[in-house]
Structure 1
């Protein structure tokens, strides 16, 4: 269906046509489509003789994950590069990165204690889609914990370079922004690299 354009918009097709392409009966194709709709992978609108089918974002994410697995199998670990714009956050990074429950894990699992604060980079367009591939990567896990009567969420960290400077992208389990990635390093990158809000930076990652 994706090859027929259902990833870009609704396509019109019969169950018999889909079954013939996939090598099974019309009845089996109908059951398959019903199951896909129940799982939230397609939007299906029935008409008199034909039907309209469109893949949902969940289906596209599933396909992207399959593509990533096959690509790694045949081509090896992925490398990605994207650019974004430095932006100020709400100051939460400094608070969270100063928590002992995180600091100890960073030192043990990343090999350094990050500067208490994240560098926020806003993405758009192709850069946003490229960064989305990381959800299919296996990062370094930072576990959540409880302290002082409150819970702190976990995160995934991915080794990366920002303008050639080593560090990690950190992807919290609880995140407020879909279009912003956070970078951590042992240094204050704004000072080390002379960064200001609105400046463009390049981030490079290689799958481990």
Structure 2
């Protein structure tokens, strides 16, 4: 699946969660990188929600949390045909369904000079 979406500022909560050792160890083991402590938030059109929800429901890649934290499903993805990473689906989230959270090794806003309202492409 390849979709376009618009970059938006998140709530800043991912930095805390992505700095937890049990998450970083699992991402390193399963994706080959320790993610930058933050996500690139991308809003996608509602016309993609059925397919995204199907992918999320069928996803078997799961990080089981330590006590007090939520599980995270993830699927490998690529941003703008350049950056390997993953889309994460936290069990506990305050985002709307049409928000996708992309993780990668680098701070993508700096590396790719991305700002809010830029359109990016996600492939997964």
Task: Verify: 1:138 aligned to 2:59, yes or no.
Answer: yes
Unaligned runs of 5+ in 2: none
Deviation beyond 4 Å, 4+ runs, structure 1: none
Which position in structure 2 is the counterpart of 1:153? 70
Q: Deviations over 1:145-193 (max 9, x none)?
A: 12xxxx0111111000111111000000112122211000011111121
Which position in structure 2 is the counterpart of 1:89? 10
- Count of residue correspondences: 122
Q: How far off is 1:101 after superposition?
A: 1.8
Which position in structure 2 is the counterpart of 1:188? 107
Say which of 77, 88, 92 aligns to 1:170: 88
TM-score (norm 2): 0.90
Which position in structure 2 is the counterpart of 1:52? none
SS in 2 for 1:121: strand
By relative contact order (CA 8 Å, sep 6+), the higher-ranking structure is 2
CA distance in 2, matches of 1:128, 1:197: 21
How large is the RMSD of aligned CA atoms in angstroms? Answer: 1.4
Unaligned runs of 5+ in 1: 1-79
**Larger gyration radius, structure 1 or structure 2:** 1
More helix by share: 1
TM-score (norm 1): 0.56
